[in-house]
């Protein structure tokens, strides 16, 4: 007993591995399937206590070193594999490594065990994905009335189309964006480049605006996906600029300035600032003044601004969304340094259709982005479906209005539930989520305490909410809870479950 062992699996596997500390107990043979390693000098060892490796895996060979002996464990259903793993590129290795971010882990858990009031009432409730399911019925209804106009068949739509979007789609998107980003703005389709979702739009802009090793300033907390979109393949670095609860997590130019100076001192070249407005995960809006100050800051430092405005049409509170483009409209200079990212995943609920857009006044950015859309193009089938929908003004106006009303209603119910539990939240006005302060339930005011709470929420009460640390929040205890993926009737269930954890935590103290 008390033997020290380590597992080293010498071939590649698919799936998730967890880092472990040396254990002094024997791992279950049945859990052998969870093991694999990347390379000899990068052994990823697994914790036998892991309960999270559920994706299918096929281990081949495990070398078990125990005490002074060497054991060889062979598993069944082995594909023929080389003992020495074929090398990935160096840049692929960090991407290959399992992502332990709670954001992704939580999404996986829901995928494995999704809540359904009837079919799976004990499943994991999804509050971690900012999809909008509130108004799908409206879209379905529109489609039912317009089968002909969006029907497939006839024409050359299946042939090659401009990678940056069919002209009619660009026109339709430009029109929709002008409704959502600011009714007085009018968008020229030639300033719009369409992409397969906002994800590649962000990546394309980073490729265009920054070289490998350059940096972007990004106010925190921020959408966890930015780390992927901005850094994975571009080599760009993200410099977090922390915002505080004392300021309601609003961006401060002073903080930006300090971050910029610090970057310079470290020899990092800052290429720009990336903001999300409405903010994700906080759900607040940047004021006109702040936007002007930001533009001024960017001009002073001669850097770009990427403004991710994907939630522009998701304002549910009494506030007015102001787009960066509206500020630009008032000035005659610096138009070339601002680039807006938009998409239909949130405001129009069609995340699966992969529709994103870049708007820029910078001809060079447009030219380069257009060419880069060959790697991330919208399906012509989908464009054909969406053009008549987006250009149906009556429908779009009704949709946006109803979406706002339903979001507001659901948000109100959600926060009322939180209030009843005595849980604080930041009163937000936009987005499909609520920024909730569960710090009171943590065992310690630290990231560790937050992650423990997150794990309890996920494993014990089966609620997937995104902890602030996944969003690089400087203050522990905050969670993003999306309310547009659940039904109204499920809100009491959610509150019940949160309450369960709350009691558990109070007990523990």
Partner 1 sequence: MVGCSSDGDGSKVLSKIAMNGGHGEDSPYFEGWKAYDNNPFHPTQNPNGVIQMGLSENQLCFDLIEDWIKNNPKASICTADGVENFRNITNFQDYHGLPEFRQALAKFMARIRGNRVEFDADRIVMSSGCTGASETLMFCLADPGDAFLVPSPYYPAFNRDLRWRTGVQLIPISCHSSNNFQLTLSDLESAYSKAIESGVKVKGLILTNPSNPLGTTSDVDTLKALLEFTSRRKIHIVCDEIYSATVFAPPVFTSISEVMREVECCDPCFVHFIYSLSKDLGLPGFRVGVLYSYNDAVVSTARKMSSFGLVSSQTQLLVASMLSDGDFVERFLGESPRRLRDRHRKFVEVLGRVGIGCLKGNAGLFFWMDFRKFLEEETFEEEMRLWRVIVHDIRLNVSPGSSFGCAEPGFFRVCFANMDEVTADVALGRIGAFVTRWHGDKNLRLSFKSLKSGDENNNSLSMTSPHVMSPRSPVVIARN
Q: Which of residues 316-355 bind partner 1 (CB under 8 A)?
A: 333-338, 345, 349-354
C-beta of 297: minimal distance to partner 1 in Å? Answer: 12
> Is 125 labeled as catalytic in the residue annotation?
no
Catalytic hit among 16, 125, 310, 486: 310
Binding partner 1 (rule: CB under 8 A), the pick from 151, 264, 460, 487 is: 151
CA-to-CA distance for 275 and 446, rounded, in angstroms? 26
CA distance 229 to 224: 9
Q: Which of residues 233-262 bind partner 1 (CB under 8 A)?
A: 233
Measured from the CB atom, is 208 or 453 closer to partner 1? 208
**213 lines the binding site for partner 1 (CB under 8 A):** no
| 223 given a catalytic annotation | yes
CA distance 486 to 248: 26
> Smallest Cα–Cα separation from 439: which of 429, 450, 454, 426?
450
Residues 262-301 that bind partner 1 (CB under 8 A): 271-272, 298
Q: Which lies closer to partner 1 via its Cβ, residue 49 or residue 120?
A: 120
d(CA 224, CA 123): 24
Instruction: Name the residue among 318, 297, 295 with its Cα closest to residue 307.
Output: 295
468 touches 477 (CB < 8 A): yes
Site for partner 1 in 389-428 (CB under 8 A): none
Distance CA 11, CA 85 (A): 6
Give 370-403 as a DSSP string. HHHGGGS---HHHHHHHHHHHT-HHHHHHHHHHH
Interface positions, 356-395, toward partner 1 (CB under 8 A):
361-366, 368, 371-372, 374-382, 385
222 classed as catalytic: no
CA R_g for the chain: 24
- Could you give the C-alpha distances from 208 to 13, 223, 230, 260, 362, in angstroms and in order? 35, 21, 11, 20, 11
Of 199-207, 398-406, 411-419, 469-477, the segment contacting partner 1 by CB under 8 A is 199-207
Nearest distance from residue 165's CB to partner 1, in Å?
10
If the CB atoms of residues 67 and 94 are measured against partner 1, the closer one turns out to be: 94
Identify residues 165-194 at the interface with partner 1 (CB under 8 A): 167, 187-188, 190-191
- Residue 464 binding partner 1, by CB under 8 A: no
What tokens does 412 get? 């109100």
The verdict on 158 binding partner 1 (CB under 8 A) reads yes
Task: Give the whole-angstrom CA distance, residue 187 versus residue 171.
Answer: 9
Question: Among 170, 346, 456, 462, which one carries the catalytic annotation?
Answer: 346
Q: Is 498 a catalytic residue?
A: no
Q: Which is nearer to partner 1, 339 or 497 (CB)?
A: 339
Site for partner 1 in 34-53 (CB under 8 A): 38
Pairwise CA distance, residues 334 & 397, whole Å: 32
Applying CB under 8 A, among 40, 152, 460, 487 the residue interacting with partner 1 is: 152
Active site members: 223, 308, 310, 346
């Amino acid at each position: 007993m008390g033997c020290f062992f380590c597992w080293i699996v010498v071939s590649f596997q698919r799936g998730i591995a967890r880092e472990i500390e040396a254990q002094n107990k024997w791992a279950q043979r049945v859990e052998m399937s969870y093991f694999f390693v990347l390379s000899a000098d990068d052994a990823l060892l697994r914790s036998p206590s892991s309960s999270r490796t559920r994706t299918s895996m096929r281990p081949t060979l495990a070398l078990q070193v125990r005490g002074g002996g060497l054991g060889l464990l062979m598993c069944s259903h082995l594909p023929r594999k080389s003992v020495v793993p074929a090398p990935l590129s160096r840049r692929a290795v960090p991407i290959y490594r399992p992502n332990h971010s709670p954001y992704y882990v939580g999404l996986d858990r829901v995928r494995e065990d999704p809540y359904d009031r009837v079919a799976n009432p004990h499943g994991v409730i999804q509050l971690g994905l900012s999809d909008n399911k509130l108004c799908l019925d409206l879209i379905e209804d529109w489609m039912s009335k317009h089968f002909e106009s969006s029907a497939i068949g006839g024409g050359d739509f299946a042939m090659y189309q401009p990678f940056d979007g069919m002209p009619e789609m660009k026109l339709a998107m430009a029109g929709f964006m002008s409704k959502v980003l600011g009714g007085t703005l009018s968008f020229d389709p030639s300033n719009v480049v369409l992409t397969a979702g906002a994800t590649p739009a962000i990546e394309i802009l980073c490729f265009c605006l920054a070289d490998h090793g350059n940096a972007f300033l990004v106010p925190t907390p921020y959408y966890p996906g930015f780390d992927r979109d901005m850094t994975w393949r571009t080599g760009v670095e993200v410099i977090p600029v922390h915002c505080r609860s004392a300021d309601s997590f609003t961006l401060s130019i002073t903080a930006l300035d300090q971050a910029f100076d610090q970057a310079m001192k470290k020899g990092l070249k800052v290429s720009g600032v990336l903001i999300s407005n409405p903010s994700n995960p906080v759900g607040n809006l940047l004021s006109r003044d702040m936007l002007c100050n930001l533009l001024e800051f960017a001009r002073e430092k001669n850097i770009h601004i990427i403004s991710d405005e994907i939630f522009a049409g998701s304002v549910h509170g009494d506030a007015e969304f102001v787009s960066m483009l509206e500020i630009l409209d008032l000035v005659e200079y610096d138009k070339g340094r601002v680039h807006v990212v938009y998409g239909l995943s949130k405001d129009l609920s069609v995340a699966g259709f992969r529709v994103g857009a870049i708007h820029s006044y910078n001809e060079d950015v447009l030219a380069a982005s257009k060419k880069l859309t060959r790697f991330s193009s919208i399906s012509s089938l989908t464009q054909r479906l969406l053009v008549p929908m987006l250009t149906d003004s009556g429908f779009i106006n009704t949709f946006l209005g109803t979406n706002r009303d339903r979001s507001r209603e659901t948000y109100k119910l959600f926060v009322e539930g939180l209030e009843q539990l005595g849980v604080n939240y930041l009163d937000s006005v936009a987005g499909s989520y609520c920024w909730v302060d569960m710090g009171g339930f943590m065992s310690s005011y630290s990231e560790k305490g937050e992650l423990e709470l997150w794990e309890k929420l996920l494993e014990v009460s089966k609620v997937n909410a995104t902890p602030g640390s996944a969003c690089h929040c400087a203050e522990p205890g905050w969670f993003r809870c999306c309310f547009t993926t659940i039904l109204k009737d499920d809100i009491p269930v959610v509150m019940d479950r949160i309450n369960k954890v709350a009691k558990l935590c109070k007990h523990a103290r």
